[in-house]
Structure 1
């Protein structure tokens, strides 16, 4: 039992006749080194789970595929994914429901001494890409380059696909004209002196997308949430309170710094700044804006990316406020 839990349990008793041991448990399947652990640790270490009517049990896994198997097989109740993937699963018949977590997205960075000023200047060079040819950042940046400069980045550059850590290390060794990586690796790359050429947010805005739409979120089985009618809102409240703590408290960041794998103060500061910048506005997801984004993803990535989800499935986004 965590040190703060006796106090939190006492507060629960003062608020009403609910005993801590009666609280539902959410088993969260997470990537062992995933950045979502920063928020979840803030929730558990400050007793925000019990404050909002549940007990959070964080279960680490080696890779994202294992977290998805855990939820599907009933070994866990929740995992993290982008809503486009969740929409694909729901369209295929799974009862997954999405609760917003972050709008943090990637971008393109170039070496510190690069003369590139736009994506057009990467033509003829190598681009390192984490996530594969259907990476959503890569697809959006390709669409942006086509719109703005009339070039097909896929045809005009050589793509090198690899795991995020490999792209990170190779980019720092100046092996690429530009690199696309997950947001936290990009933060470390920028802290090491690389320059952001363009963010996916900027490219998305130019394409007419609502970049306030949170891309990443927690997904649950709808059947699980139906068994606990107030659980979705309670979890959302705990998540929002953790975000508020991290947005306004240096002490909250000091508490999770050992989890962040920040090698330098510069990396720590950049990770902190970019995480805070990714906090979405409170409120329900704009389904119409999400539908426009999904239509673009379907156009760019086809069924291989979105499956049968050609529009946002009804009930995809949890009713949280």
Structure 2
């Protein structure tokens, strides 16, 4: 873990090192940031949650413990004590987070613990309030969603984990849907696609607000935006395709062309904002549409799946390799005011465009 400027200042204040040594160490640690490298030059979407395989190793162990505890509670503990057991488990997760999230600052294990804490808190509330009964009311789901949102907010305030933004947004969405269902039972199911699109666009707007605060992607605002984009993208993509196609995963011939057009439009948006989540969320639907279009040719049926994978993979690789020049073309078509607030196209390698 690289020491921050605050860490170095604290070390000087404590007499661990002198100021001259601290200045030399700071210069050494930032030497690569002062001169751009090929990796830094490329447009990229950094995902800062793994610093080494130790993080993956610890995350696997924590996930195994949390899943095992849940299974043990469901199998051994009487149902009347499930709420207390999961509340106790949530307390244990918080204690672990004090070690791994607050003290050691291991991001991936902290994500596992955040998911576990919110899940355990919601499960405890669900058992305590009777959400698993035969006919729970909308008010019950509203209360359970409120507990989930409160748990996510508490984790965010204590541990400052950017991933908590996704959990908070999910909690707000759950609370809103539960409130709507309480006031107008059946309305969520009746208007699901419209609600999904509206909520997805709302999360996308919050994500863009974070992105516009930090176009250079150098602060935690970019991390908050990343997780919010990851939540918003599948909601937007699924809702759009549900409006356009009767069965998005199995479109007809004309519908397949519409799916391709929608995905290309989303690709332009992804290029403009320099976020790949929109594209990743629609790749399954895009692949299904390509398969339908390929099937309308005279190609042998046995080769359709292989050709679909080749075309889909080729599209992803081509766009990924040409992301920078493609972004340059898209941004050039936008008004100057939009270009000024969006992430810039970083210079390429010497000899590249």
Q: Provide TM-score, normalisation by structure 2.
A: 0.27
Please state which structure has a larger fraction of its residues in helix: 2
Please state which structure has a larger fraction of its residues in strand: 1
Q: Provide TM-score, normalisation by structure 1.
A: 0.29
Higher relative contact order, structure no. (Cα contacts within 8 Å, ≥ 6 residues apart): 1
